[in-house]
Amino acid sequence: MPADTILLPSGRATDAAATAEQLQQIFRRLEEELDAGALGIGIGLQYVPGASRLEIIETFQLAARRHVPVFTHVRSTGYNEPGSGIEAVNEVIGAAAISGAPLHIAHINSSCRAQVADCLSLIEGARAHGLEVTTEAYPYVAAMTRINSALFNPGWQEQYGISYGDIMLPGTGERLTKERFDELHKAQQAPRVVMFVNWS
């Protein structure tokens, strides 16, 4: 499946919890992909902020039944509560504890930023109590995503502590203004952008 299909623009599909029928479809598809040889289940929680806690736990339970790990971007980042990196890391560690599924948290540095030491201590504590939890960090000061993704839902500036000038078009190096952001955000073919968020 193309990445553009997986990464939906923000809206009803990303901001609402799945219905029971949708969950059945999701789990059926996951089972099919695991049967075809998938190595684990990937979850982009930042891109589907409306996903319920229960559907995440049920996804972890499916992974545990199939003896595969869950690889996830956590639900949120930043310092503000609710929605801090610490809260987001706690959510997926809790799901791993409930289900017994191995967990890999993607990009701990961009997920937790200034709270990375605290988030690493949560992982260390989980591992000390027998949970199979891993993570990694990448050595860049920026992240990349589509400008119409749920990462740019209202409140993104406060959540990430950045503004329009911290967003760049990778092909040209253009730093955005509010007007340019608004234009690209609603464009039919929304581009990928670089977000300079990882230095704090």
What's the pTM value of the predicted model, to 2 decimals? 0.88
| Winning range, highest mean pLDDT, from 17-21, 61-65, 185-189 | 61-65
- Bridge partners of 104, per DSSP, are 71, 134
Using alpha carbons, select from 150, 76, 153, 70 the residue that is nearest to residue 115.
76
* Other CB atoms within 10 Å distance of the CB of residue 186: 11
pLDDT at 57 (0 to 100) = 97
pLDDT category at 133 given cuts 50, 70, 90 is: very high
pLDDT exceeds cutoff 60 at 24: yes
Query: 130 and 96 in contact (C-beta within 8 Å)?
Result: no
Alpha helix (H) ranges present in the chain? 3-6, 12-15, 20-35, 53-66, 85-99, 108-112, 116-128, 156-160, 178-185
Sign of CA dihedral 57, 58, 61, 63: negative
Q: Can you say whether residue 83 is alpha, beta or left, with left for phi > 0 and alpha for psi between -120 and 50 degrees?
A: left
Q: Is 102 helix (H, G, I), strand (E, B) or coil?
A: coil
- Bridge partners of 105, per DSSP, are 72, 135
pLDDT at 9 (0 to 100) = 72
Q: What is the pLDDT of residues 101-123, one digit of tens each?
A: 999 999 998 888 888 999 999 99
pLDDT category at 3 given cuts 50, 70, 90 is: very low
Q: What is the pLDDT of residues 140-170, one digit of tens each?
A: 888 899 999 999 999 899 888 899 999 999 9
Q: Is 146 helix (H, G, I), strand (E, B) or coil?
A: strand
Query: Which structural domains are found in the chain, ordered by start?
Result: 3-139 (3.20.20.140), 141-200 (no CATH)
Q: Which DSSP letter does residue 11 get?
A: S
